[in-house]
């Protein structure tokens, strides 16, 4: 990579289908698995915030030194949407994805990886 400043990290959008509703209905199991995924993928955890929806469903975010994890769950549809944004090359998002798939009991996942800031920023800054 000749100019690392041309990209700013990889953003993984992970859709988890067929999840076990008992594992994604309340904050505690949702948070436990997401924190474990962050730790085992060698993220540096800075802060986390989770919210319980009624009658069921949870949202949560973990801010990590490398960027963030987020999750939103729809237990009534056996579905959870996760994203992992990681800048730098130190953490291991694939490990996090495997832990989440197992931890939420997903029977199918779809992962999209987007590179953030992939334009030639120098050229853009010279255009104004």
Q: Is residue 47 packed enough to be buried (19+ CB in 10 Å), middle (13-18) or exposed (0-12)?
A: exposed
Are the C-beta atoms of 70 and 61 separated by less than 8 Å? Answer: yes
Smallest gap, in angstroms, from Cβ of residue 92 to a second copy?
A: 19
In the list 21, 31, 56, 59, the residue contacting a second copy (rule: CB under 8 A) is: 59
Identify the residue among 23, 25, 83, 97 touching a second copy (CB under 8 A): 83
| HSE-CB for 126 with a 13 A CA cutoff | 5
- Give me the residues that bind a second copy (CB under 8 A), please: 5, 8-9, 11, 13, 15, 17-18, 46-49, 51, 59-61, 63, 67-68, 70, 72, 74, 77-79, 81, 83, 85, 87, 107-108, 110, 112, 114, 116-119, 121, 124-125, 127-128
């Amino acid at each position: 990579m000749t100019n690392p400043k041309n990209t700013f990290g990889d953003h993984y959008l992970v859709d988890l289908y067929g999840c076990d509703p008992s594992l994604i209905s309340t904050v505690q199991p949702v948070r436990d698995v997401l924190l474990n995924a962050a730790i085992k993928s060698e993220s540096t955890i800075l802060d986390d915030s989770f919210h319980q929806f009624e009658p069921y469903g949870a949202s949560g975010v973990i801010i990590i030194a490398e960027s963030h994890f987020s999750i939103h769950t729809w237990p009534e549809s056996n579905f959870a949407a996760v994203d992992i944004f990681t800048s730098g090359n130190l953490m291991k998002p694939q490990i996090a994805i495997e832990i989440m798939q197992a931890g939420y009991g997903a029977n199918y996942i779809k992962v999209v990886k987007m590179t953030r800031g992939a334009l030639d920023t120098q050229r853009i800054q010279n255009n104004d």
